[in-house]
Amino acid sequence: MKVLVLGAGGMGAKAAETVAQYDEISGLTLADLDFECADRIAKKCGSKARALKLDVTDPTALHRALSEAEAVLNCVGPFFRFGVPILTAAIETGTPYFDICDDPEPTLEMLALNDKAQANNVLAIVGIGASPGISNLLAAKTCTALDEIDHLITGWSLDDDPDGPMGDLDLNEEGGNAAFVHWMEQCSGNVTSWVDGKLTSVKPLQPLKVTYPGIGQRTLWTVGHPEPVTLPLTFNHVTKASNAMVLNRLDAMGLKDLARRIDAGRITIDEAAAEISGSFSDGGGSAFQSFIAWIASRLSGPKFPSLFALAEGRLDGRPAIAAAAITSLPKDGMAGITSVPLAVALKLYIEGKIAGTGVKAPEAVIDPDLFFGTFHPFCVSPSPVSREKLVSFTVS
């Protein structure tokens, strides 16, 4: 199979390096506006890889590149700008498409292209990274465990846990600033979520008390993300869905202050992102600030899993909670936990384990157990675990 990877930044590079290991890949093209960057990564991927200088805003050049590929992995962001045009081009050229879109609005816009993709016999999977991606498939396990779901929650932890699966995550690595900008976009203004069985515009950074089986209760903070807008489309017994962050109250108050300033027009999203980036890169500030942060973390409650899904509802007519969490993740920080799932989805597609056409979220077409079985060999952080222990799953 000939594969095109769009974007030679941290995400695209990791996706290309992973895909290059597959025996089924006969050719790998790494395309970027920066040819030297793409060429540098292509050389790391071996003899079957090559670099291509490509401006994805040039429709003719984009169509030409897609026409020569048998599948495309799109790592070009921001997706609110590039997601729909690139997916549209892939549909028009009949090229199977996979991406790591983590914005809810373009996700919905791309899902709206489902009929066009089906008419062209094309499969596109949107948002198969860490969150969304892994989180969706964890949620799928919880959704199939309960008869009714009052509230479906996907979450990720920003607690400082060097021994956790995301212990080597460096938010100041390449792509980190874009992550901060995305973060502030989804923490300010209004975001789309699922409330009372329908898509609804809501304010983010709302406190959410969650009890995780075997761990305890603490307050999480809601944030805009694709999971709440896609999961109920597949699992129609979900009444409400939220995406939430695990972070201490001090950090939550800091984010709320930034969001208020953005909403009031006092600072831009980019300026807010720069403030957050500075707080991560300065080593945590003074000893006093570090002490206050430590106290805040202890007052916030028990430590939750790094990446998880939890469904509150009923089973056999009785109240029940189903929870699933990942216990180990790929190395290489943000790039690893985001791009390896993308490459794993391609592997499953090549092996004929993902079928159908149309534009789909991961949970609509990927079997969670097949995914985690293929994902398992890449998971080494904080340490390798057995396949049976990769996903912690409970129903209580």
User: What's the rounded Cα separation, in Å, for the pair 191 and 200?
Assistant: 8
Specify the number of domains making up the chain.
Answer: 2
**CA nearest to 207, candidates 301, 284, 293:** 301
Q: Domain of 10: which CATH number?
A: 3.40.50.720
In a domain, 345, yes or no: yes
pLDDT at 165: 55
Judge whether residue 161 has pLDDT over 50: yes
89/233 same-domain check: no
84/153 same-domain check: no
User: What's the rounded Cα separation, in Å, for the pair 372 and 374?
Assistant: 5
At position 14, the amino acid (one-letter code) is K
Judge whether residue 114 has pLDDT over 80: yes
Judge whether residue 288 has pLDDT over 50: no
Do the Cβ atoms of 237 and 149 come closer than 8 Å?
A: yes
pTM summary value: 0.93
Where does a domain end: 304, 326, 348?
Answer: 326
Residues 191-218: pLDDT tens digits?
999 999 999 999 999 999 999 999 999 9
Helix count (H) and strand count (E) of the chain? 15, 16
353-371 average pLDDT score: 98
280-295 average pLDDT score: 48
304/353 same-domain check: no
User: What's the rounded Cα separation, in Å, for the pair 276 and 245?
Assistant: 16
Judge whether residue 65 has pLDDT over 90: yes
Query: Which phi and psi angles does 350 have, rounded to 5°?
Result: -60, -40
319-337 average pLDDT score: 96
Judge whether residue 294 has pLDDT over 60: no
Judge whether residue 33 has pLDDT over 80: yes
93-119 average pLDDT score: 98
298-318 average pLDDT score: 91
Q: What is the mean pLDDT of the chain?
A: 92
305/205 same-domain check: yes
Residues 383-393: pLDDT tens digits?
999 999 999 99
In a domain, 389, yes or no: no
- Give the contacts of 328 (CB within 8 A, at least 6 positions apart): 165, 379, 380, 381, 382, 383, 384, 385, 390
Where does a domain end: 268, 299, 326?
Answer: 326
pLDDT at 248: 86
pLDDT at 289: 47
Other C-beta atoms within 10 Å of 314: how many? 14
142/167 same-domain check: yes
The two three-digit tokens of residue 137, written as one number: 């498939």
The two three-digit tokens of residue 355, written as one number: 């079928």
Do the Cβ atoms of 371 and 344 come closer than 8 Å?
A: yes
Judge whether residue 290 has pLDDT over 80: no
What is the longest distance spanned by two Cα atoms in the chain?
61
- Give the contacts of 337 (CB within 8 A, at least 6 positions apart): 129, 130, 134, 165, 166, 169, 329, 330
116-127 average pLDDT score: 99
Where in the sequence is the domain holding 45, given as residue range(s)?
2-129+333-367
pLDDT band at 280 (very low <50, low <70, confident <90, very high): low
In a domain, 377, yes or no: no
315/189 same-domain check: yes
User: What's the rounded Cα separation, in Å, for the pair 386 and 384?
Assistant: 7
pLDDT band at 163 (very low <50, low <70, confident <90, very high): low
User: What's the rounded Cα separation, in Å, for the pair 79 and 108?
Assistant: 12
Dihedral angle, C-alpha 241, 160, 190, 323, nearest 10 °: 0
DSSP state letters, 108-135: HHHHTTHHHHHHTT-EEE---BTTTBHH
**Angle (CA) 351 84 24, round 5°:** 20
In a domain, 178, yes or no: yes
pLDDT at 28: 99
pLDDT band at 182 (very low <50, low <70, confident <90, very high): confident
191/339 same-domain check: no
Tokens 């499953």 map to which residue?
348
15/78 same-domain check: yes
In a domain, 394, yes or no: no
352/210 same-domain check: no
In a domain, 108, yes or no: yes
Judge whether residue 281 has pLDDT over 60: no
Q: Domain of 152: which CATH number?
A: 3.30.360
